[in-house]
Amino acid sequence: MGAPNEPAAPGPELRRGVPEGAEGQVAALYWEAFGRKLGPALGPPETGRAFLAAHLRHDRGIVALDSTGAVVGVAGYQLAGRGLTGGSARDVLSVFGPWAGPPRLALLALLSRKPAEGELVMDGICVAAAQRGAGVGSLLLDEIAAVAAESGCTRIRLDVIDTNPRAQALYTRHGFRALRTQRTPFLRTLMGFGAVTTMHRAVGPLGRAHL
Ligand SMILES: CC(C)(COP(=O)(O)OP(=O)(O)OC[C@H]1O[C@@H](n2cnc3c(N)ncnc32)[C@H](O)[C@@H]1OP(=O)(O)O)[C@@H](O)C(=O)NCCC(=O)NCCS
C-alpha cells in the first residue's frame, strides 16, 4: 500500500492498434492464454509465438499498456475480412513444410471464424496473469464495443470454450447472450475443450449494449 499522500498508480492506457515493436509481447500474451488451443496448429510454443508475432495485423488489436509501456492486455477483432492474427496457407507451409503443414492448416480452419454482415468478431482477449481481475478486460471489452459502433456494426460476436466459465460470466455481465453451443468432443484431447459457445451482443450507436 502507498503512503497516504502518494498519488494512485495510473491505470493502464488503452490504445487502438498494436504499437510497432510490441509484436513479441502481444504474441507472448496470446500464447500464454491460448497456447493450449493453438499448440497443435502452430506449436511448439517458440515457433507459435514467432509465427503470431510475424503475422500480426497491427490495426486489428486494442492493447492495454502499463506505465512503462509494456503490453498487459490485448483484444483482437475481425472486421472487413481482417483479424489480429494473420498468416496465409503459404506461410504455414513454409514454416512447417509440405507434410506437416496441411494437417495444421486443417486445424487452423476449424478455429477460424468469419464475421457476418454488420458483425465484428472478437477473436482473442487476454490480460497478463498478474493483472487479471483489476478491470483491464472490461476496459478492453468496452473499447471493442466502441470500435464496433464506430465501424457501423450492429453486433459483436465471440466464441468461448466450455472450460472457461469465468470468461463466459464476464461476457454475460457485459451484455453478451449465448446463441448456440457446438459440441466438439473430437477436440477435447487435442485442444483441451469439448464445446464452444457462440455469444452475441447488439451494439448501439454509442457502443452501448442493447440489454
Ligand atoms: C478473461 C480475461 C481477459 C478478463 O480480463 P480481466 O482483466 O481479468 O477482467 P476484469 O478484471 O475486467 O473482470 C474480472 C472477471 O474476468 C473473469 N476472469 C478473471 N480471471 C479470469 C481468468 N483467469 N480466466 C478467465 N476469466 C477470468 C471473471 O469473470 C472475473 O470476474 P470474477 O472475479 O467475479 O470471477 C482475463 O482474465 C484473461 O486473460 N483470462 C485468460 C484468457 C482468457 O480466458 N480469455 C478469454 C477467452 S474467451
Q: Per residue in 138-158, pLDDT tens?
A: 999 999 999 999 999 999 999
CA of 119 to the centre of ligand 1 (A): 23
Number of neighbouring beta carbons within 10 Å of residue 182: 9
Instruction: Tell me, yes or no, whether 130 lies in a domain.
Output: yes
Please check the confidence at residue 208 and state whether its pLDDT lies above 60: no
For the chain, first and last CA: distance in Å?
38
Out of 38, 127, 176, mutate this one to test ligand 1's pocket (max ligand atoms within 8 Å of CB): namely: 127
Instruction: Tell me, yes or no, whether 51 lies in a domain.
Output: yes
Residue range(s) defining the domain that contains residue 46: 13-156
Contact between 176 and 158 under an 8 Å Cβ cutoff? The reply is yes
Torsion angle of C-alpha atoms 83, 87, 90, 94, degrees rounded to 10? -160
pLDDT for the residue numbered 2: 46
Instruction: Tell me, yes or no, whether 42 lies in a domain.
Output: yes
Please check the confidence at residue 4 and state whether its pLDDT lies above 90: no
Instruction: Tell me, yes or no, whether 211 lies in a domain.
Output: no
Instruction: Tell me, yes or no, whether 18 lies in a domain.
Output: yes
CA dist list (Å): 206 to 101, 131, 133, 147, 186: 43, 28, 26, 10, 41
pLDDT for the residue numbered 206: 58
Ligand 1 atom closest to the CA of 132, numbered from 1 = 8
Residue 13 and residue 19: Cα distance in Å, rounded?
13
Mean local confidence (pLDDT), 182-186:
91
CA of 68 to the centre of ligand 1 (A): 23
Ligand 1 atom closest to the CA of 170, numbered from 1 = 29
Residue 202 and residue 211: Cα distance in Å, rounded?
8
Mean local confidence (pLDDT), 6-15:
78
Average pLDDT, the chain: 92
The better pLDDT of the pair 196, 6 is held by 196
Mean local confidence (pLDDT), 2-30:
85
Q: Which CATH number characterizes residue 74's domain?
A: 3.40.630.30
Instruction: Tell me, yes or no, whether 202 lies in a domain.
Output: no
Residue nearest to atom 37 of ligand 1 (CA): 132
Instruction: Tell me, yes or no, whether 4 lies in a domain.
Output: no
Q: Say which range, 5-9, 21-25, 61-65, 96-100, has the weakest mean pLDDT.
A: 5-9
pLDDT for the residue numbered 113: 85
CA of 208 to the centre of ligand 1 (A): 20
> What whole-number percentage of the chain has pLDDT above 70?
92
Q: State how many domains the chain has.
A: 1
pLDDT for the residue numbered 186: 86
Give the SS3 label for residue 144: helix
Instruction: Tell me, yes or no, whether 105 lies in a domain.
Output: yes
Mean local confidence (pLDDT), 120-141:
96
pLDDT for the residue numbered 174: 96
Contact between 70 and 77 under an 8 Å Cβ cutoff? The reply is no
Contact between 37 and 194 under an 8 Å Cβ cutoff? The reply is no
Q: Taking the model in full, what pTM does it have?
A: 0.93
With a Cβ cut-off of 6 Å, ligand 1 is lined by 33, 125-127, 132-138, 160, 164, 166-167, 169-170
- Kindly indicate the confidence band of residue 211, based on its pLDDT and cuts at 50, 70 and 90: very low
